[in-house]
Structure 1
């Protein structure tokens, strides 16, 4: 399938590369490096485009922020969700926590090797760095806590990570059973990506909310509120930087000017009085 997909991608590059400058190899893979290498070798110099991947991830928030265990479990949630595909691209291998947990579960099930595939040294080198940007699809957040699954349960992705997902009843419920409006989780996910993967170029490829009511006329105030809140969270980083600039540069400058003007006015008044 890799060769077939690579042939298809090269045909797309050939026919549309003079106009299309942003390519996404996979959207929501629950599976790319060969196509990036093909573009890099054959098409990039003349088409000057970019090839990336789009990954979906919710944010995992620790139930108890003072609990080291909950913090570790919440990160494990994001690593199993996002790191599963992002880590090989940026580090060349699956997340360590994923390898450890799947390996341990596989051993408990009497398997001689882990159910998680192993990359060879050549594969790690070939995969690492094969993304010019990272597409992020994000919709919601979960509180995460530890949950130990019985070894008698059927092994799966959902039992490998030993955790439970919780929601807050106060979170707005826009419509779909799985989707809650938790804007602050979006910013935390973006900051995680920034620190975890070396501040890559990010494009938000999916975000939004499902239909809530069947209306005969326009009535989607909940969608407006959802999008406004999530966009505001995305804008907080540059806003913070701007406020720091105001605090560190503008305010001292204005303060200094006020002192100078006051001194000049005082000298003028004293001279006039004398």
Structure 2
């Protein structure tokens, strides 16, 4: 199947590469590196394009930020979600926490080896670095806590391997879909995670949005407009923004207070001179 997909992609590069300069191999993958190498060796020199991939990733926040087990569970949530495909592409192998937990679950099932496939050294080298940009599809956030799933020898799954429970905050805005809550700050934290984990890659937000909360016969998009506004604002934040927020919240009130104090002292001085 990988070879068939590579042939299809190569035909696309040949026919459209003189006009198309940004390529995504998959929107949520299950084969990628071979096509990147095909473009890199056969087409990049003359077409000057970029090849990336689009991965889905929701953010996981610890329920209790002082509880190490919750912190580790939230890390697993993101690594099993986004890291499953991003970490091999950027670092050459599956996230270590995936390897450890799936091996443990496999041993509990009485299997001799992990259910997670193992990359050979050649495969690791072939996969690593096959991404000119990373597409991110992001919609929502979950609170995450530790959950010890019982050992079941007969069955196991992606969900039980993670050993965690997903929760939502009832204060989050009501969703248009039962799974999709508006949690803008989670988007910012996911972007920071990608930056720190994968060496600050070029990112394109390839999916984001929300379903309407109510049925209406005419345009009623206030909920969606607010969602986009909040998420875009989180995306636009940078160190300068954070600095300016600090200036606004701390420095400006301090200067105003000092100005009022100095004005009062000056006024008292003038009144005493008159007397």
1:123-171 alpha-carbon deviations (Å, 9 max, x no partner)? 0000000000000000000000011111127200000010000000010
| CA-CA distance at 1:56 after TM superposition | 0.2
Within-5 A mapping of 1:1-274? 1-29=1-29, 31-152=31-152, 154-237=155-238, 239-240=240-241, 243=244
Cα separation, 2, equivalents of 1:100 and 1:31: 23
Aligned residues: 248
Kept in 2, the 8 Å contact 1:63–1:145? The answer is yes
> Which shows bigger deviation, 57-66 or 144-153?
144-153
Is the Cα contact below 8 Å between 1:22 and 1:51 reproduced in 2?
yes
Shift, 1:73, TM fit: 0.9
For the aligned residue pairs, the C-alpha RMSD in angstroms reads 1.8
What is the Cα deviation at residue 68 of structure 1?
A: 1.5
SS at match of 1:218: coil
Q: In structure 2, what is the Cα distance between the partners aligned to 1:150 and 1:242?
A: 47
Q: Is the 8 A contact 1:174 1:222 kept in 2?
A: no
Aligned-partner SS, 1:52: strand
Q: Distance in 2 between matches of 1:107 and 1:68?
A: 25
Q: TM-score, normalization: structure 2? A: 0.87
Q: CA distance change for structure 1 residues 95 and 78 in 2, over 3 Å: closer, same or farther?
A: same
Q: Which runs of 5+ in 1 are unaligned?
A: 252-274
Cα distance in 1, alignment partners of residues 165 and 31 from structure 2: 24
Deviation at 1:214?
2.0
